[in-house]
Amino acid sequence: MKDVIHLLPDHVANQIAAGEVVQRPASVIKELLENSIDAQASNIQVYIKEAGKILIRIVDNGVGMSLTDARLSFERHATSKIKSAEDLFSLQTKGFRGEALASIAAIAHVELKTRREEDEVGTCIRIEGSEIISQDACVASSGTSISVKNLFYNIPARRNFLKSDTVETRHIIDEFQRVSLAHPHIAFSLVHNSSELFQLPDTNYRQRITNILGGKTNEKLVPVNENTEIVKISGFVGKPEYAKRTRGEQFFFVNDRFIKSPYLNHAVTAAFEGLLKDKSYPSYFLYLKVDPKSIDINIHPTKTEIKFDDEHALYAILRSAIKHSLGQFNVAPVLDFERDPTLDTPYDYEKRHASAPQVEVDRNFNPFKNEHRGSFRNDYKKESVGWESLYTGLKSESSGIDPDVRQIEFESEEVTGNLFGAYKTEEAQNTTFQLNKKFIITTLKNGMLVIDQHRAHTRILYEELLKSITVSAAVSQQLLFPLILQFNQQEIELLKGIKDSLEQTGFIFSEIKSDSVEITGIPTLILESEVEMLLEQLLSDFENEVPENNFSQTDLLAKSLAKSMAVKSGNLLNSTEQQHIVNGLFACKEASITPFNKPVFITLPVEELEKKFM
């Protein structure tokens, strides 16, 4: 039988490895940024075109490479970070596998220019699909400049799976922010299509956070510091009143490397127990320093997951440190008794003796003497004379009231209005009732109908909002005082893109700045207190699913607003509100499913109920 096992060619092996290392343009930027940091760069510049699909160029002022190092850097498993397996447990650098450049060169056109400070000329290498096109001496600045063009040019299937430019740009910004937050001592810049998105100078941790997320972020931060034998914790957490409905501003860094850890995230959430509103998430920027021997960072290709030796101790220390910081800065509720300083006894009164108080009394004073009593009685008589005259003619005037006026019946002052309009409450009580504050039960001719109240109201609002946006017939309620909300630069750009559609739903924006929005009008269906929460959820939905055309943008906007505005499970509804949801649901064009393709109601025929009793 013919042998069937054979070795893969190098370029095929590199393309397979690239599937793990390079998932999208953001992956390339992450790997190259980490290489620049390992090269001791103090200034790193990132240039991208068309979300990195056409060009990714990273320039740093690091130590550079020699001719031999530049050539070897594109070979698989070529690295300067480790020499033996034991080195994996004492890693202090970012990249160590030696797969990044080889994987990138296998699926793109790569040009590398590098020069060490002691060299007179630099090295220029051009590679296309793992094949070296040229290797020459060139004029280059001290450091390294690497350009990645036409990503996935030789793997069309991978290129077709890339999302829109807006989505890919958002992923690039996410990776850029993670790396720059971990290294505030390095200056970073990001330019997209000749437009500067970020210009971050060399600074400290707090200022770096503020430069990325906006100037108003500074007042929201509470410092956290804890130094133990197991871990050294520093960084900041957000004040509870600024908690958001999304998890966007949550960052863990272990030894200056961004990680994702649901276990540690739970420790932070536990520290905020009792301080957050329902379904709100705290912001945090926490930097952990641990012994490299106590962690394993080689369990995931992207190195965003880490295994700790003693997670339980780390959990307890982190939770305790955050609770201590919240209490220390008077963020957590504490017992605070107000005292009057005037009641404090001075220290120099310690050796003094108490003296009896002296009271002077006029023993000859008598309030019941004749002259006083007589004067009081005479004054009273003078003031009380003629009081009977106040009632003179009252009977005759009342008798002159028109008999028709006496027969007028006044309406009851009982308030019968409600949020959902005028329905006969008695009739509604006979047709619907609520089960477990989640389902609305109503009767059919041949059975029973069970409706999910949140999904039903979502469907109703979705069709109303869709009609308002497309027909531009929404009604706004003017605010007495403008509402000013704070957002970061990325959220502001996203808000500008959907501003016109939001205005068609009833929002009125008087001003949009680089870090804030001023709103003077909101839709009639929304309370003013819910606007910030609703817009945060809306922006989160758009960040995770950015539409590529106007129709899908309108649809996503209506879906997100309807989901946030709909009555929630657990809300108690009176019979009138229940009846309104039932009537509104069956007036919809598609009543059986939500905008997210989930069932709204189920029917229980009488036959099925009878079977239960057999």
Q: In this structure, how many other beta carbons lie within 10 angstroms of the beta carbon of residue 143?
A: 25
Q: What is the DSSP-derived secondary structure letter of residue 524?
A: T
The span from the CA of 123 to the CA of 537, in Å, is 49
Average pLDDT score over residue span 126-131: 88
The pLDDT > 90 percentage for the chain reads 26
Judge whether residue 264 has pLDDT over 80.
yes
Average pLDDT score over residue span 121-146: 91
| pLDDT computed for residue 344 by the predictor | 65
Closest CA to 526 of 508, 541, 510, 514: 508
Average pLDDT score over residue span 556-580: 87
Instruction: Give the containing element (helix H, strand E) for 200.
Output: strand 195-200
CATH fold of 429-603, please? Ribosomal Protein S8; Chain: A, domain 1 (3.30.1370)
Report CA Rg, the chain.
37
| pLDDT computed for residue 548 by the predictor | 53
Instruction: Considering only residues 489 and 120, tell me which one the structure prediction assigns the higher pLDDT.
Output: 120
Task: Assign 404 a pLDDT band (cuts: 50, 70, 90).
Answer: low
The span from the CA of 46 to the CA of 191, in Å, is 6
Average pLDDT score over residue span 387-416: 53
| pLDDT computed for residue 492 by the predictor | 84
The span from the CA of 560 to the CA of 347, in Å, is 65
Which numeric CATH code is attached to 213-328? 3.30.230.10
Judge whether residue 296 has pLDDT over 80.
no
479 Cβ partners below 8 Å, 6+ apart?
519, 520, 521, 522, 528
| pLDDT computed for residue 125 by the predictor | 93
Would you list the DSSP string of 542-605?
Answer: HHHS--SSHHHHHHHHHHHHHHHHSPPTT----HHHHHHHHHHHTTSSS-SB-TTS-B-EEEEE
Least confident range from 163-172, 185-194, 222-231, 251-260: namely 163-172
Judge whether residue 186 has pLDDT over 80.
yes
| pLDDT computed for residue 569 by the predictor | 86
Average pLDDT score over residue span 327-335: 67
Judge whether residue 382 has pLDDT over 90.
no
Q: Where are the domains of the chain?
A: 10-200, 213-328, 429-603
Is residue 321 within 8 A of residue 335, CB to CB? The reply is no
Judge whether residue 262 has pLDDT over 80.
yes
For residue range 418-456, list pLDDT tens digits in order: 444 444 444 444 578 889 889 999 988 888 899 999 999
| pLDDT computed for residue 145 by the predictor | 94
Task: Assign 330 a pLDDT band (cuts: 50, 70, 90).
Answer: low
Least confident range from 219-223, 241-245, 248-252, 371-375: namely 371-375
Please tell me if the domain spanning 10-200 has the same topology as the one spanning 429-603: no
Task: Assign 245 a pLDDT band (cuts: 50, 70, 90).
Answer: confident
| pLDDT computed for residue 305 by the predictor | 77
Judge whether residue 415 has pLDDT over 50.
no
| pLDDT computed for residue 429 by the predictor | 45
For 428-449, b/e burial (b = at least 16 CB within 10 A) is: beeebebeeeebbbbeeeeeeb
| pLDDT computed for residue 126 by the predictor | 94
Of these ranges, 95-99, 227-231, 360-364, the one predicted with the greatest mean pLDDT is 227-231
Closest CA to 15 of 79, 73, 99, 97: 99
| pLDDT computed for residue 398 by the predictor | 47
Judge whether residue 536 has pLDDT over 90.
no
Per DSSP bridges, beta strands 187-192 and 43-49 are parallel
- The whole-chain average pLDDT of the chain stands at 81
Which CATH superfamily, name and number, covers 10-200? Histidine kinase-like ATPase, C-terminal domain (3.30.565.10)
Distance of CA 398 to the CA centre of its chain: 70
Amino acid at 322: I
Judge whether residue 117 has pLDDT over 80.
yes
Average pLDDT score over residue span 389-412: 54
Least confident range from 155-169, 420-434, 565-579: namely 420-434
Task: Assign 568 a pLDDT band (cuts: 50, 70, 90).
Answer: confident
For residue range 494-519, list pLDDT tens digits in order: 888 888 888 888 889 998 887 889 99
| pLDDT computed for residue 418 by the predictor | 45
Instruction: Considering only residues 419 and 342, tell me which one the structure prediction assigns the higher pLDDT.
Output: 342
For residue range 3-53, list pLDDT tens digits in order: 777 777 766 666 666 556 788 899 999 989 988 998 889 999 999 999 999
Task: Assign 367 a pLDDT band (cuts: 50, 70, 90).
Answer: confident
Helical segments of 57-204, H only? 67-72, 100-106, 156-160, 165-182
The pLDDT > 70 percentage for the chain reads 78
Q: Which tokens hold the place of 429?
A: 């009580």
The span from the CA of 535 to the CA of 523, in Å, is 12
| pLDDT computed for residue 188 by the predictor | 95
